[in-house]
């Protein structure tokens, strides 16, 4: 189906009936399997967008998983505030806390309407129709899906693009089309004062966990792009956000960085984009502009080997790039059938990239998948060894066969798709091979980063503007 694009003039409406008085946007309490600040940023982008299009609604946001919030804290908040609408974010490893969150909501704030959005419902929305929810966002931008659900709760419509709705009789209505996608000019870029960056620092401190951040340095996440045409079967980006990429302008990107660094003691930038160098012209312009400024902001990004060349890598290094992460997945030719053509790369291709990164003073970080169909553990070991031989760093994860997901799975079965555990019944590894695979992911890591040495420490600038002015959007508690 074609994407439903929401133009700026069509997204400033408010739901019929004046909209809810109070809303909560929340990531439930849980022990995280993995941490990428970019994934969590969606909470604050959705919140900011809701505040802009629902100016009379008090919108509260809470990342309970990062803030180490207790269930008593959650219960207090639900009972005392009686939210009209609660938008609960879901994640691949977040089903553990979702069921309990729903039980607390139904017991302590029974009048709340509940919608869930996130990456897991984007690949298995049917699972969530079994839960005590009122709406499930399947695809399209999360902001558009949550607003569509609110409109339905207000009686504006009986169906919604990209959203499953539960009726008064308990039956579900499927989406009436693909979810809406927003133009980049209306994306909310969160002010630093609302995001628990100090907690993020703690989560990134142990680099042996191979989380995406740089330890010992404060990260500013810039959500630069959505959508990706590469089409990896194991990636949620294109089913949710579409294959057509959308990007912030270079001007807005640089202004957000400048204002954020003035408002808080950030030390490097993490560009959050599925394939950062997909748009060569945009990347070239950004690098030129950064060089003109004196390359004042160290930064990192993620992309593919296919979308890099020597000239671009050198330009990125000159502009302040300190780390390039690529979705290498495997160098084992036996696994190439499981990869899109753009990712079927050889050792020679990787050697070329590594030499460019070395010349540019950029750390090379390679995502590797253990258990990718067709591959062997010997092939996975060779891939990781080759990366290390070339001076790079590997981040291994376990292959998650989403096609094996079923709507009728219980919480325990669904939680196995978190890219750390092998899903029972979906692989043919014997006990020794399985132990070897887990050793790749959970065993001692010998390639921890030292790239923080290339990121200077800094203190907040005196006399800076308030953080609430970073994006120029309305701020409501």
What pLDDT digit, counting tens, does each position of 71-110 carry?
999 999 999 999 999 999 999 877 888 999 999 999 999 9
Residue 477 has pLDDT above 60, yes or no: no
Kindly state the average pLDDT of the residues 113-141: 95
Residue 204 has pLDDT above 70, yes or no: yes
CATH code of the domain made up of 189-399+430-454 = 3.20.20.70
State how far the alpha carbon of 115 is from the alpha carbons of 75, 112, 128, in Å.
Answer: 18, 10, 10
Assign 454 to helix, strand or coil: helix
- What DSSP letter does each residue of 200-267 carry, written as one string? HHHHHS-GGG--SSPTTSPEEEEE-EE--SS--TT-SHHHHH-SS-EE--HHHHHHHHHHHHHHS---
Residue 399 contacts residue 421 (beta carbons within 8 Å): no
pLDDT computed for residue 8 by the predictor: 37
328 CB neighbour count, 10 Å cutoff: 27
pLDDT computed for residue 86 by the predictor: 98
Q: Specify the residue for token string 């060089």.
A: 291
Across the chain, mean pLDDT equals 90
Q: Specify the residue for token string 């031989």.
A: 389
Q: Which range, 33-42, 355-364, 402-411, 422-431, is most confident?
A: 355-364
Q: Specify the residue for token string 């994640």.
A: 91
Taking only the tens place, the pLDDT of each residue in 369-396 is: 999 999 999 999 999 999 999 999 999 9
CATH 3.40.50.2300 residue ranges of the chain are 4-180
pLDDT computed for residue 157 by the predictor: 78
Residue 80 contacts residue 17 (beta carbons within 8 Å): no
Specify the pTM. Answer: 0.91
pLDDT computed for residue 476 by the predictor: 37
pLDDT computed for residue 332 by the predictor: 93
Determine the Cα–Cα distance for residues 246 and 368; give it in Å rounded to an integer. Answer: 26
Confidence of residue 294 (pLDDT cuts 50, 70, 90): very high
Assign 359 to helix, strand or coil: helix
pLDDT computed for residue 20 by the predictor: 87
CATH 3.20.20.70 residue ranges of the chain are 189-399+430-454
Share of the chain above pLDDT 70, in %: 92
Q: Are strands 22-27 and 58-63 parallel, antiparallel or unpaired?
A: parallel
Q: What angle do CA 461, 464, 470 make, to 5 degrees?
A: 115
Kindly list the strands in the beta sheet with 393-398, ordered across the sheet, starting from the edge strand earlier in the chain.
219-223, 268-272, 299-303, 321-329, 363-370, 393-398
| Choices 1.10.10.1100, 3.30.410.40, 3.40.50.2300, 3.40.50.300: CATH for 4-180 | 3.40.50.2300
Confidence of residue 459 (pLDDT cuts 50, 70, 90): low
Kindly state the average pLDDT of the residues 131-136: 97
Determine the Cα–Cα distance for residues 340 and 92; give it in Å rounded to an integer. Answer: 22
Residue 453 has pLDDT above 70, yes or no: yes
Taking only the tens place, the pLDDT of each residue in 415-433 is: 888 889 998 888 888 899 8
Taking only the tens place, the pLDDT of each residue in 351-371 is: 999 999 999 999 999 999 999
């Amino acid at each position: 189906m074609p994407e439903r694009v929401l133009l700026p003039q069509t997204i400033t409406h408010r739901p019929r009936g004046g909209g809810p008085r109070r809303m909560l946007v929340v990531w439930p309490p849980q022990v995280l399997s993995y941490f990428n600040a970019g994934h969590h940023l969606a909470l604050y982008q959705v919140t900011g967008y809701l505040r802009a299009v629902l100016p009379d609604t008090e919108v509260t946001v809470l990342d309970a998983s990062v803030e180490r919030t207790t269930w008593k804290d959650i219960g207090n908040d639900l009972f005392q505030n009686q939210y009209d609408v609660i938008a609960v974010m879901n994640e691949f490893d977040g089903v553990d806390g979702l069921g309990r969150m729903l039980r607390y909501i139904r017991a302590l704030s029974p009048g709340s309407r509940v919608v869930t959005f996130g990456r897991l419902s984007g690949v298995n929305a049917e699972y969530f129709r079994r839960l005590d929810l009122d709406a499930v966002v399947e695809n399209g931008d999360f902001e558009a899906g949550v607003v569509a659900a609110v409109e339905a709760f207000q009686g504006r419509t009986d169906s919604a693009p990209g959203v499953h709705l539960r009726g008064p009789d308990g039956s579900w209505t499927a989406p009436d089309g693909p979810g809406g996608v927003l133009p980049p000019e209306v994306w909310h870029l969160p002010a630093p004062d609302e995001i628990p960056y100090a907690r993020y620092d703690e989560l990134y401190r142990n680099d042996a966990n191979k989380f995406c951040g740089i330890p010992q340095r404060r990260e500013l996440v810039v959500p630069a792009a959505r959508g990706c045409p590469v089409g990896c079967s194991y990636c949620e980006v294109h089913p949710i956000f579409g294959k057509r990429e959308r990007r912030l302008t270079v001007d807005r990107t640089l202004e957000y960085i400048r204002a954020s660094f003035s408002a808080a003691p950030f030390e490097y930038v993490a560009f959050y984009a599925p394939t950062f160098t997909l748009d060569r012209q945009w990347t070239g312009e950004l690098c030129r502009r950064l060089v003109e400024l004196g390359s004042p902001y160290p930064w990192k990004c993620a992309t593919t080997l296919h979308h890099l060349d020597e000239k671009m890598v050198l330009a990125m290094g000159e502009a302040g790039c300190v780390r390039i992460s690529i979705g290498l997945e495997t160098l084992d030719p036996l696994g190439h059938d499981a990869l899109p053509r753009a990712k079927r790369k050889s050792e020679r291709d990787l050697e070329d990239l590594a030499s460019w990164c070395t010349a540019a003073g950029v750390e090379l970080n390679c995502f590797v998948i253990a258990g990718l169909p067709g591959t062997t553990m010997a092939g996975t070991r060779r891939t990781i060894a080759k990366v290390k031989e070339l001076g790079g760093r590997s981040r291994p994860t376990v292959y998650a066969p989403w096609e094996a997901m079923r709507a009728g799975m219980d919480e325990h079965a669904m939680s196995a798709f978190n890219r750390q555990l092998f899903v029972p019944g979906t692989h043919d590894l014997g006990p020794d091979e399985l132990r070897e695979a887990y050793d790749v992911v959970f065993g001692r890591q010998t390639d921890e980063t030292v790239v923080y040495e290339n990121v200077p420490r800094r203190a907040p600038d005196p006399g800076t503007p308030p953080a609430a002015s970073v994006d120029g959007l309305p701020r409501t508690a």
